[in-house]
Structure 1
Amino acid sequence: MRRNKVRAVTSRLLMMSIKLEPRFLDSRTEAAAVEYLRRFRLRNRLSIRRITHKGRRKRSEVQVVADEFGNSMRYKLETGSVLAGYDKYEHLYNMDQTSIYVDMNPKTTITFRGDRDVDVVQ
C-alpha cells in the first residue's frame, strides 16, 4: 500500500519534470526516471509525508486571487488564442452539467525530512 502512494507522488514529479524538460525520458526508461527522482529526494533530504493539518485562507483572500486569475485567463483567451474571434462560441461548455471536481487535494506532499507537522494552506 505504501509503495503505491510513493509511486503516485513520484509519478507526479515525473510528469512535472517532463513538462520542464521534454528530453528527460529520451535516454531513460520509466523505472530509471522514477529511481532518479527517488535519489534526488534522498540527496536533498526530502520525504513524502501525509498532510497532518490543512489551513484555510480567508474568503476575501481567495476571492482576490480568483478574480485576478479569471481576468488574466479571459484576456489571454479573448486576445490571442484558439478562442479568439467568432469561433470562440463553438468551444463553450455547460459547467453546471459537467462532472469536474475542482477541490480534489492530495493526501501527501513533499517536505523536508524531520519536520514534525506537515502543514499546507489551501
Structure 2
Amino acid sequence: MELVIILLIALLYSSGVYMLLRRSMVKLLIGVMLLGNGTNLLIFLMGRITRGNPPVIPDNLSVLTEPFDDPIPQALILTAIVISFGLQAFSIVLLKRVYVLVNSDDLDDLNTPEEINDI
C-alpha cells in the first residue's frame, strides 16, 4: 500500500512541477494545487499508516496501548487542507481580476508595458 502512495506522490509532484512551468496562469494555479495535495499525502505517509485503534484513551486506562494512529499528521493535514482551500479561493479571484484587466491568460503578457501593447 505504501508503494502505491509513493508512486501517487511522485505523480502529483511531477505533474505539479510540469504545470508550474507552463505559461498559463490557470495551469500555474493547478500546479500549486497538485503540489499541495502531494505534500499532504507525503505528510500522511510519513505519519506511519497503521490499522488500529483511534488515538483516544479509554476510561479504564491511564496510558494508550499499541496499536494506535498518530493524531499529529492527521491534524497537520487537516490544517493544510483548510489553508490551501483559502489560498486557492483567493488565487482564483485574483486570477479572474488579472484576466479582466489584461485580457490574456499568458504570464508573459503581465511583464510587457502598456506602451508596447498600444503600438
Instruction: Report which of the two has the higher share of helix.
Output: 2
Instruction: Report which of the two has the higher share of strand.
Output: 1
Q: TM-score, normalised by structure 2?
A: 0.30
Structure with greater contact order relative to length (CA < 8 Å, sep ≥ 6): 1
Q: TM-score, normalised by structure 1?
A: 0.29
